[in-house]
Chain A
Amino acid sequence: GAVVSQHPSRVICKSGTSVKIECRSLDFQATTMFWYRQFPKQSLMLMATSNEGSKATYEQGVEKDKFLINHASLTLSTLTVTSAHPEDSSFYICSAAPGTGANEQFFGPGTRLTVL
């Protein structure tokens, strides 16, 4: 149980285009989902927290107009990188929390974004 999927696993796009990444909790309902960004050989940096049906809360320094987050249902959150640039190339990881306490989060396998 507690499986989180991400799609796509890898994506290559041209500068200026937008890319959507999906995060799904497959066997539980996620009251909260989180989006992280990870540069090579570095740690995970929290980008934003999203709760179903409400606006996402972005961490300081993360542009909300560039990284659009939608949490339309209790099992799906999407991250759209708008007008992507090469510096947006990174590993994006989502996690989902069922809200059962103990700070439980289940992580997706990540999406490797490369912007040419």
Chain B
Amino acid sequence: SQQGEEDPQALSIQEGENATMNCSYKTSINNLQWYRQNSGRGLVHLILIRSNEREKHSGRLRVTLDTSKKSSSLLITASRAADTASYFCATDSGGYNKLIFGAGTRLAVHP
């Protein structure tokens, strides 16, 4: 399969709660990226974490990477209704500039 795995497939939370999404991949990587996609729209790049990094922050986003387990997590703190979207991880395991996307997590944040 071209894709990695993400869990959960869908996540429904209340505003103010934290949302955690996980991603696993199969081959070695140089970096892993997280993207956001609003329904019917293109992708927005959120954060890139390199294989030699374990954690990275950007605003309310926190990404961790465990290369020994071939997994990553995206934490969105203090979620807002506007965070409602699908979130995908993508790795460069396909080669230079070739991204392999995970299955995605559909996040719904209820006011």
Contact = CB atoms under 8 A, between A and B. Distances in A.
Nearest to A106: B45
A91 B40 contact: yes
Contacts of A110: 40-42
Contacts of A34: 97-99
A106 to B, nearest CB: 8
Interface in A1-57: 4, 6, 32, 34, 41-46, 49
Contacts of B96: 103
B37 to A, nearest CB: 9
Interface string A39-79: 00111111001000000000100000000000000000000
Interface residues on B, range: 20 to 34
Interface of B: 2-3, 30-31, 33, 35, 40-45, 48, 88, 92, 94, 96-104, 106
17 contacts: A6-B42, A34-B97, A34-B99, A45-B2, A46-B2, A46-B100, A49-B98, A93-B42, A95-B43, A99-B97, A103-B96, A105-B45, A107-B42, A109-B42, A110-B40, A110-B41, A110-B42
Given A97-B97, A103-B97, A110-B40, 13 more contacts: A43-B3, A45-B3, A46-B94, A46-B100, A46-B101, A49-B97, A102-B31, A103-B33, A103-B99, A105-B99, A106-B45, A108-B42, A109-B42
